[in-house]
Structure formats: C-alpha cells, structure tokens
Structure 1
Amino acid sequence: MITSTTPPAADPESSLRPRRYGIAIAVAALVVLALIASSILNYVYLDTIPGRASLYGLLTVALITLGTYILVRAYDRDRASRRKHLIRAGVLIGLGVLLWLLVIDVFLFTQSAGPGVAAICALACLPTTAFGLLVVRRMDRNHKEPWRLVLVAAAWGAIVATSLVVWGETIWEASAQRALVPGPGLDTSLAFMAGILEELAKGLAVLLLYLVMRNEFDDVVDGIVYGAAVGLGFNFLESISYMTNVYSIFSAEGFGWVAAGIQWYGRQVLGLFFGHATYTAFIGAGVGIARQLHGRRQKVLAIMAGFIVAIAGHFSWDAWATVFPIQNTLFGLVEIHLRTLIMTGPFTAALIALLLFGIRYEGQNLLEQMRKEAGTGQGAILPEEVPTLASPWQRLKQRLQAFQRAGPRGYLRVSRLQTAQLDLAMERWHRERKEIDTPLEAEQQLRQRVMELRHWVAA
C-alpha cells in the first residue's frame, strides 16, 4: 500500500551545484590550455599548416563573427535579457577559438596519406560509428539520453581526447626509449602509456558531463552510455589515423587499400564495441555509480575504480599485442578474432552484466515512482498507463499503434508523451533519494508538460 505520494524536497546541499561548476570550469580551462600548447607545438615542430586556414577556418570565422554580432547587440537590449545574450556570444566565440585549435591538431592524424585518402577513410568509418552510437544509446531501455549529449561525448572522444594524448604519448615514448633497453620493460611501459594517457583523456569527457549536466546523468546506465560514446568517437579518429598510416606505408607496393581495409575491419567491425567503447564505458560506470552515492569519499573511490578498470583493460590489450604480435599468415586472421575475445571479451562481458543490473535496478525504481505518481490523481500518469510505460516493448507497441492511426505525426506525439512521463518519474526518483538540486517547481513544470502533451496527443 502506498502511504506517501509527495516526494521530499530537493537536495538540501544545493551549494554543491556551484562547487561542481567550479570544478568543471577548472577542468575545461586545463583542457583548453593543453590544446593551446599542443597546437603551438604542432605548428613549430610538426607542420606549418600551409594554406589550410583559408578552407578550414571558415566555420571558425563564422562562429566568431556571429558571436561578435550578438555581443554588440546585447548592449542594446534591456538588462534582463542582456546577460543571456552575453553568455550566448561568449559560447560562440569560445567555440570558434576552440575549433581552430582542434582543426590544427586533427591534421596530425591524416597528413601521412593526404586529405583525399583521409576523407575516404573517414567516410568508411562514419556508418559503423553511427551504428555504434545508435546501439549504445538504445542500450538504455528505460530513459534514453539526449542525442545532443551523446554526440558531444563522441565529438570529445574524436577530437579533444585524441588531441590531448599526442604530446603526452610522444614524451612518454621518447623518455621510455632513452631509459629502457628494448624488451619486456619497454613494452610494458608503452602499454601503460596508452592505457593511462588515453583513458584519462577520454574519461575527462564523462567527468565533465557529470559535473555540468548532472540532471541528465542519472545512474550507472547513463554513465555506460556516455562512456561508450566517448570511446566510439576516439575509435573513429584513431581508425582513420591507422588506416591512412598503413596506406602510406603499403601504397608503393600496391597494397595500400588492402592494408587500410584490414585496419578498418579490425577497428570498426571487430573492435567497434570490444575496444575503446568498453574501456571508457567502465569510467562512465564508475561516474554513474558515484552519481547516486552521498559520501564524497565514496564518490571519489567509485570514479577511481572506473578509471583503474579502464586502464587495466586497455593495458592488457596493448601488452598482449606487443608481446604476441599477429603473424603475417592466414592463421593471423584467426588470431585477431581470438585475441579480441580472450583479452577484451571478459571486460565487455563484465560491462554487459553491470549494464543489465543497472537497467533492472533503474526499471524497478521508475516503476515504483510511476505508481506513486499515478496514486496522486493529478493526471500526469494514469494507473492504467503504468504497465505500458514500464515495458519498452509495450511503449513501442503503443507508438506503432499511434503510427497506424495518425502516421508519423501520431508516432512522434506519443513518443514525446512517453518521454515526458518517464522524465517525471526519473525526477521523482532523484528527488526521493535527495540526488537533485533543482527546486520542487521543476517537477511541477514536468507534470504540466505531460498534461499539455496529453491534450496534444488527444487532439
């Protein structure tokens, strides 16, 4: 029997929000400084970027121009709306500057074979990466993440994370080669290099999402989705890098595209979910667990555990690849599959088990909150709707029925209504656990939105 239908107030420690934002700003500032340093080093030591600014700088110029226009017009507006326009202008100008720095770094990964080959390799990797992102997002059967955040996570992995590790790995490798003789010690050092630096760079994206978009970061399931998206983005650009590199090596012998195709298969088909997506998803899982812990020490331990598992998985793969290289024989094709299953398979299996547990736990709590909301009699969720909302298949069936009645418009209307109802249940769950710092009015606004969508669907 349900005895309480009104959730407790929001998290009383609302001061955590500005503290989170302060940490996020500090992390973002360090990332920007690292990118600036990397771009300067690239310009001085690796490439002078001749003439490329005229083409790739167009978007940067457009962003800065638009930001400047909004900045100038902001002072012609009233004080109430001026701050909003100043923030928009700052974001656009900041994106323009950041894009310029990142574009400079991207050329490092494609210059060996030329822009034409790099473009073909990118087009080959785009469908598989898009498929991976679609699958990853749909893993959350109860409350899917917004596409904008999934794509932001993937973009970080593809551009920011790859740019951050360039000079770190260069310095580590040079230092290790000077200090260690060729052998197991050097191989182990290089394996740790990839695991530590790459997972730290990718994990920063998940951590920033948690700090800045906490209300869109619900639990371990969301963490796995965001982490896997970052890994898929990183794998996208790394695949292009390896494909263009082997093409430039073997093109003189007439096997350039064959070598690039083998790299594409190994990284975009066989290793699409088994590699970077799995490793960084563990970081996301750690952050997602921390999302629902109350003690600061527990949060730190959960996040550290995620990073450690990700680094361990990445290290094991690189160490195995170094100690037991693939043979240049027909059996080498079998070895590639066996190595993936043996070395990364257990990590992926553990991640899937964690994901299934998280989905089940999330689903049970959402069901409870939907029942409580239905018990209030406010009309946002009706008692007869609870079984349908609690089942992904029943929700799909309801959307398909709406499609048969009213076409795509009916499908979209019912989908939006279901999403709003699940948002309301998720809001109640976080508020009941005191994990949210938005005021109670935010929940009422969600309830009103559900009612508006209900009338829209019925119209």
Structure 2
Amino acid sequence: MDHHLSNVLPVPASVRRNTLVRRILLWSVVAILIGACGVTILSLINAQSGATATGLGILLSAVVVGIVVPAFLWVDRLEREPTHLLLFAFGWGACVATLGAAFLNDAGGYLLGATSDNNSVVAVFVAPVVEETLKGLPVLLIWLVARRELDGIVDGIVYAGLSAAGFAMIEDVIYLSNGYAEQGDAGLFHTFFVRVTMSPFVHPMFTICTGVGIGIAATARSWGPRIFAPLLGWLCAIGLHALWNAGAVLAESGWLAFYIFLQVPLFAGFIGILIAARHSEGHAIRVNLTPYVDQGWLSTPEVRMLSSVRERQYARAWAKSHGAEREMREFQDAASELAMHRARIERGAADTRTVREERALLDLVTQRRQQFLGTALYRWPDLVA
C-alpha cells in the first residue's frame, strides 16, 4: 500500500455545503443560459418556416441523436463521463452554439461583403471558424472548470462529439424546415436524405479534432502541449470543415463524386479514430490498475476484465444472472475512475483531494469485489479491449 494513503484529511462539513451551493448556482445559470438560447433559436426557426415545418424538422432531425449520440456513448463505455457534463456538452452545441453561429456567420459574411447570391464565402471562410469555435468551447470549459472529468483523448472526443451532435441536430432542423416551407414534402425528404441519412456524422468529424487536442493537453506534463495541442486541434477542425464546405460548393454538379472521394475517406478515418481511442483507453486502464495488483488491491484477472469492453459485458451478464448486476457495475465504474486517479498521481497531481478520492475509490472497489472472489466469473483467454 502506498504510504500517502494513510494521511487523508476529512473535509469540513461547512466546506462541503458551500461547495454544493456554488455547484447548484453554477448549474442553474448554465441551465437558464442553454434553455434561453434553445427557446430563441427555435422561435427564430418557427418565425421563418412556420410551426408545421419546424415540428417536422425537429422530428426528422432527432434521427441524428439516435445515430450519433449512441456512437459516442459506445466510445465512453470504459470510463463513463458524468451525465450532467454530457448533457451540458450536447445542450451547449444544440442551443448556445447554434444561436451564436446564426448571428456570427451573418456578421462575418457582412464584414467580408458576402451577399445572398454568394453564400460560398460564408460557407468556406466564416462558418468553419465560427462554428468550430463555438462547438469546441464546451470542451474547453469542462477542461478549465471540471478538469478532473476530462482525463484524456477519449473524454475530449466524447464531449466534442456530443456538442457537435447537438449542433448538427438543430442545424438540420433549420434546413429541414426550410426545405419543407419552400418545396413541401419533396424538399423535406430531399434535405433529409442529403443531410441526415448520408452525412449524420459531418459535424462530429470536424469537432473531435478539437476534442483530441484538449484531451492531449489534459494529460500533458508541460505547458507547450497544453497550449499548442488545443490550438492545433482547433485549426484542424476548421481546416476540415472548410475543406468539406468548399467541396460541397464545388461539387454542386458532381455530388456523387464528392461523396465518394471526400466524405467516405473522412468517415472511414473518423471511425478509425473512435476505435483507436477506445482501445487506447482500455490500455490506459490496464496500465494504471496494474500497480494495485502489486499492492494486493486487485488481481490480474480482474484487471484484464476491467480493461476489456468484451469482458466487462460478460462480467455484467454473469453478475446479472446471479443477482449482483448493480454491484458489478459499481465495481467496474469505480475501478475505471480509480485508474484515472492513478494516472493523475503518476503525472504529479498527488494533492490531498486526489489522494482522498483514490482511497475512497479503493474502499468501494474492495467492498464491491468481495462477493465475486472465488467465483467462476473471470475467463482466462488473451483479452482484447
């Protein structure tokens, strides 16, 4: 056992209460901001296209949520992020980012002399900068305000992806409602096919670059990567977004070629990044939990199970059949969080709070694993996360 685990100071009750009050006030303000922006952007859409068109747009754009959000929750299976932060990222993208983009894109176009007949200027030179900044901002805020909940590249990807998914959903409402208002059913379903069916991951493909950059910064030991990794990720997001929009503008008469030679390779690369990121997180969990095997807190088969999505699923199914599914989930979640705490300690963040939380997680892991010791739970083949 590490010697620092024995020197844990209790947190005064007054400090806990004050912290709780500040958190409630902060999240109340955030909820009001997101809600007000959401009501405003939907009111603007309704005023432009009408209630029927807006309702149809909302209904059909929900397909984006049903496709994209589960994909990022799949990436987030090993070390799940807090629900309130996931909702914050999605809500910011859907409400704050879309409303901000609606005004800033117009302002940027006006400054560049763009007209309604020359929207390509806005699409290529203004929208990528404005939208990628606004979509990436919640990830930056989470890193700055709730740093303990952003532990690496996977977390950055998940938060960025959900922010972009929210943005894409409301942007699709705008296009779908306009399509219906201008051309009826034909315009609605043509827009649905092009924007929702054929390219639901467009915005997340760009914004995860910013998430990767912030994720790298979150685990960096020096100031160089902390500054330049997010900046480089943001610039990559803008560049990909501008390339995409430029391709769309140039390919108005050759949409199929644009889809095959640009959209398909980008989507393949996007899927590859998601798979590699989840595999990397499994490796990180295995590496960071291994010291606890040496100290006697965990066993090697447990670490193998905890670092593999497949084996976690098997363990939960086994536990469910024995009436202990909740205990197994808590064991897995606490162990994943413990691995992230160990990573922070290894990076030199061995402050009192981190050590106290590590000990609490160790106690929870020890308690939850007791009923599984000596059972036929753990399988023994080579495990792949």
Q: TM-score, normalised by structure 2?
A: 0.84
- Give the structure 1 partner of residue 328 of structure 2: 414
- Give the structure 2 partner of residue 377 of structure 1: 296
Instruction: Give 2:54's aligned amino acid.
Output: A
Contact 1:7 1:431 in 2 (8 A): no
Distance 1:241 1:152, change over 3 A: same
Residue 293 in structure 1 maps to residue 220 in structure 2: yes
Residue 223 in structure 1 maps to residue 159 in structure 2: no
1:124 CA drift (Å): 2.2
Instruction: Give 2:82's aligned amino acid.
Output: P
CA distance in 2, matches of 1:107, 1:259: 21
- Give the structure 2 partner of residue 271 of structure 1: 199
Distance 1:129 1:223, change over 3 A: same
- Give the structure 1 partner of residue 314 of structure 2: 397
Distance 1:363 1:91, change over 3 A: closer
State which structure, 1 or 2, has the greater radius of gyration over its C-alpha atoms. Answer: 1
Summarize the alignment of residues 420-459 of structure 1 with structure 2, pairs less than 5 Å apart: 420-434=334-348, 438-455=353-370
Q: Which moved more, 1:354-363 or 1:279-288?
A: 354-363
CA distance in 2, matches of 1:243, 1:170: 20
1:169 CA drift (Å): 1.0
Summarize the alignment of residues 11-410 of structure 1 with structure 2, pairs less than 5 Å apart: 83=18, 86-87=21-22, 90-91=25-26, 94-95=29-30, 97-98=32-33, 99-177=35-113, 187-188=120-121, 190-250=123-183, 256-273=184-201, 275-326=202-253, 335-336=255-256, 338-378=257-297, 381-406=298-323, 410=324
CA distance in 2, matches of 1:143, 1:369: 13
1:145 CA drift (Å): 2.6
- Give the structure 1 partner of residue 377 of structure 2: none
Partner of 1:111, secondary structure, is helix
Distance 1:147 1:265, change over 3 A: farther
Distance 1:236 1:436, change over 3 A: farther
Question: Structure 2: which 5+ runs fail to align?
Answer: 6-12, 374-385
Partner of 2:79, secondary structure, is coil
Q: Which moved more, 1:357-366 or 1:317-326?
A: 357-366
Distance 1:385 1:300, change over 3 A: same
Instruction: Give 2:315's aligned amino acid.
Output: Q
1:436 CA drift (Å): 6.7
CA distance in 2, matches of 1:295, 1:286: 14
CA distance in 1, matches of 2:16, 2:307: 41
Instruction: Give 2:319's aligned amino acid.
Output: A
1:150 CA drift (Å): 2.1
1:326 CA drift (Å): 4.5
Instruction: Give 1:199's aligned amino acid.
Output: E
Contact 1:194 1:318 in 2 (8 A): no
Instruction: Give 2:344's aligned amino acid.
Output: H
Deviations 1:82-136 (A, max 9, x none): 6356436634652464233542233223322222331232122224413311111
Distance 1:190 1:360, change over 3 A: closer
CA distance in 1, matches of 2:76, 2:57: 30
1:215 CA drift (Å): 1.4
Equivalent pairs, count: 364
Instruction: Give 1:158's aligned amino acid.
Output: A
Contact 2:285 2:307 in 1 (8 A): yes
Contact 1:199 1:310 in 2 (8 A): yes
Instruction: Give 2:106's aligned amino acid.
Output: T
Q: TM-score, normalised by structure 1?
A: 0.72
Partner of 1:397, secondary structure, is helix
CA distance in 1, matches of 2:21, 2:332: 35
Q: Which moved more, 1:444-453 or 1:83-92?
A: 83-92
CA distance in 2, matches of 1:436, 1:249: 60
Question: Structure 1: which 5+ runs fail to align?
Answer: 10-77, 251-255, 328-334
**Aligned-pair identity (%):** 25
1:447 CA drift (Å): 0.7
